[in-house]
Structure 1
Amino acid sequence: MSKRRVFDIEFPDVDPPEPIASESSVPAADPRRGPMASAIAENADALRERETLEARIRAENDHLAHEHVRLKKAGLITDLIPIESIKTSKLTRDRRAGRDDELDELKESIRAVGLSNPIRVEALGQGSYELIQGYRRLAAFRELFEETADAAYANIPAGLTARGEELELLYRRMVDENLVRRDISFAEMAQLVRAYADDPETEAVDLDAALTALFGSVSRQKRSYIKHFVTVLDAFGPRLKFPEAIPRALGLQLEKRISHERGAAARMAAALTAAMAATPEAELEVLRDLSVPPREPRVVSPKQAARAAAKTTFRQNVRGGSVRCAAAEGRVELRMNRDFSNMDRHRLEAAVAAFFQALEE
């Protein structure tokens, strides 16, 4: 009988490998947790996720709100604002009362290409706004809407400024915008300085402070000119109908008389009232006369006075009527009821030449 050989195999003491869990495998439920506990746990997880999402949304909204305020303060948010909801009472304008003669050109530009530069307004609440910049643009839109009844002109593009900015800053913005204009006059700038100084809501304690606050960026010489024009406007007041037409040189001459000649302001204002000038040209003519101080009476010797008193007077009848003639030292006067300003200049020159030629013969 044959025997089979038995081999003894010894295995090393190693733990068996753990099974690899697949991504789709689900952990086994705790056999000790019931259905109610599982539902509560799931609800808590959902609440935590919702709170996290809401916190993220609030943070994003806060960021957007701060960005909106920043853009609004910078005037970078624009909207179409009804022209009827815009007020123009907060700032005293530097433009004189009445219609701007150049408004028609602006209206034609708006008709052709629209408004390229929005106005700027301050939100007052309840759908109303206060104008900060763009008085002429707003006036043009209002006239266009009144003339055409086109709904396109019922609303005007406007940059929205947050409410509560300092009044000085609002005035400065209006000044800076107007300094870009080439046609702004010294009288208009002076009107704005006087209005700013008299405004009880500003911090200007006197005229110099108002001038520095509004026109601190211009040269000292130009500020001096503006101050001289304030003196002229204060002296004439409402008697001056066309102050924006006064050129710089004339304004400085008027200020010199007002400031250095006692009683000149009252006399000049009375003369301006009596003139009743109805046009800028007529008023300028009156102001030019007023800018020249009266000549001092010349002191003459008795001999010079005797010579001046000695003169020859007579009347001469000519074809056109009677001529009153007066001759004195260095002077010959011919007076006649006739308008010689309409006569041709060459004929007058020939007549004067013939007159002196006859005297020399």
Structure 2
Amino acid sequence: MHMQKWRGCCIRIAAACATVTPWKWLTATLSGFPDAKARQMRTPSQSSDVSPDQSVYRILRPRVVPLDQIHSSDLPRDRLDLPGQAGSAEMQALKASLSQRGQRVPVTVSRDQQGRYQLVSGWRRLTALQQLAEEQGLADPMITARLTGIGAARMELYIDMVESNLLHQGLSFGEMAQLALTASADPALSDLGVGEVVTRLYGALPKMKRSYIRRFVYLLQVLGDGLRFPHKISRNQGVAVSRQLRNNPETAEDLRQSLSQCPNETTQSAVFAQYLLSTRVRTPQKTQPERRFHLGKTHVTGRMGECVIRRDTDFSRIDTAVLSRAIQAFERILQNG
């Protein structure tokens, strides 16, 4: 009896497979289970007890909306040279791709207090589509967008904006630092200092890279509006100038005045180079106390935060497990005496 029921079930499922598409078959099959229809097409963050307008952060399914309904006045952009980006060769290439293949990646938007769509991420795609609509004289251009939940956490919106450029286009340290400063001044994030903003905003980056961003934050704080091309500062030069400004704060005003007269990034770089040269001559090099001794054929030099061991041995050929035991014994003796 049970075997006959099972065979009858298999026949019905096989008949469904022969008459509907695979997706429809999956939907029809799941509909026989309790609450299956409620689970269909639900994203992981869209549980049945959460209303669409509830103040939670999640990404909803893409929707097509009129292009002119997307505003970009809420969040500051992470790119500093927006006019340059809008007229760049990369923008022309993006427009060509959109013309030939269409928009394949949605932009991300949120709703502001007035209910308008505000851009979160996808400024280049939005700009390219706006330019194409104007150039081609499109009457009712549309755009595909993903909508975040109403009242989404403010910091999450900043992170959404940043992540796309970090993964695909890259941001300069000056741009990342400027965005951190701007976000820390956002009234919705007034309880966070700029250091905490850097930690949250760039939490996916390595710790060393976040330390560089903090150096650039200090650089922008000290130099202010005198720094006209912060997005063009190289990592090494920016970190070095930031360090010298901390060591020689009295030099900041002269540097600001010199930078304010720079007509381009090349002159700015030259001013920084001259500044580094002058402060290095002015700042005496501090010699760190050290201790040297040898034990048999092993020579040891100890300094603050550093222990150099030299021996006529090719350490690259020693098994990692052996070296690990040696280091563990070294650390154990240092701790216990």
- TM-score scaled by length of structure 2: 0.62
4+ residue segments displaced more than 6 Å:
none
Determine which of 62, 69, 73 is the counterpart of 1:89. Answer: 73
Q: Deviations over 1:95-149 (max 9, x none)?
A: 1143203322222221221222110112348772011111111111112222221
Choose the corresponding residue for 2:156, options 169, 183, 187.
169
Q: Read off the aligned partner of 1:192 and give its amino acid letter.
A: L
Partner of 1:142: 130
Instruction: State yes or no: 1:105 paired with 2:93.
Output: yes
Aligned to 2:176: 189
CA distance in 2, matches of 1:161, 1:221: 31
What residue is the counterpart of 1:291 in the other structure? 276
SS in 2 for 1:230: helix
- Quick one: structure 1 residues 182 and 85, their matched pair in 2 at CA, closer, same or farther if it must change by over 3 Å? closer
Displacement, 1:205? 2.8
| Residue 282 in structure 1 maps to residue 258 in structure 2 | no
Indicate yes or no: 2:192 matched with 1:205.
Answer: yes
Q: Which amino acid aligns with 1:163?
A: I
Q: C-alpha displacement at 1:204, in angstroms?
A: 4.2
**8 Å Cα contact 2:228-2:259 kept in structure 1:** no
Contact 1:204 1:210 in 2 (8 A): no
Partner of 1:57: none
What CA distance in whole angstroms lies between the structure 2 residues aligned with 1:266 and 1:125? 42
RMSD: 3.0
For the 8 Å contact 1:133–1:177, the answer to whether it is kept is: yes
User: How many residues end up aligned between the 2 structures?
Assistant: 235
Q: Distance in 2 between matches of 1:224 and 1:86?
A: 35
1:81 aligns to what SS in structure 2?
strand
1:166 Cα deviation after fit:
0.9
Q: Provide the C-alpha distance between the structure 2 equivalents of 1:104 and 1:143, rounded to a whole number of angstroms.
A: 10
Deviations 1:222-241 (A, max 9, x none): 11100001111122222322
2: CA distance, partners of 1:284 / 1:64: 58
Partner of 1:328: none
Greater C-alpha Rg: 1
With the length of structure 1 as denominator, give the TM-score of the two structures: 0.58
Calculate percent identity across the aligned residue pairs. 29
Partner residue of 1:260? 247
SS at match of 1:292: helix
Post-superposition shift, 1:263? Answer: 1.4
Which stretch shows the higher mean deviation, 132-141 or 195-204? 195-204
Q: 2:64 aligns with which of 80, 89, 100?
A: 80
Question: Is contact 1:196-1:204 (8 Å) kept?
Answer: no
Closer, same or farther: CA 256–297 of 1 in aligned 2, 3 Å: closer
1:269 corresponds to 2:256: yes
- Higher RCO by CA contacts (8 Å cutoff, separation 6 or greater): 2
Aligned residue among 46, 57, 73 for 1:70: 46
* Alpha-carbon distance in 2 for matches of 1:293, 1:65: 68
In the alignment, the residues of structure 2 paired with residue 182 and residue 141 of structure 1 have an alpha-carbon distance, to the nearest angstrom, of 18
Task: Answer whether contact 2:60 2:149 (CA < 8 A) is retained.
Answer: no
Deviations 1:69-109 (A, max 9, x none): 92976434222222221121222221114320332222222
Name structure 1 gaps, 5 residues minimum: 1-59, 299-361
- Given residue 280 of structure 1, which amino acid in structure 2 is its aligned partner? E
More deviation in 222-231 or 279-288? 279-288
Shift in CA distance, 125/156, structure 1 to aligned 2, threshold 3 Å: farther
Secondary structure in 1 matching 2:219 = helix
Greater mean deviation of Cα atoms: 71-80 or 223-232: 71-80
> Helix, strand or coil: the match of 1:293?
helix
Where does structure 2 lack aligned partners over 5 or more consecutive residues?
1-34, 285-337
SS of residue matched to 1:70: coil
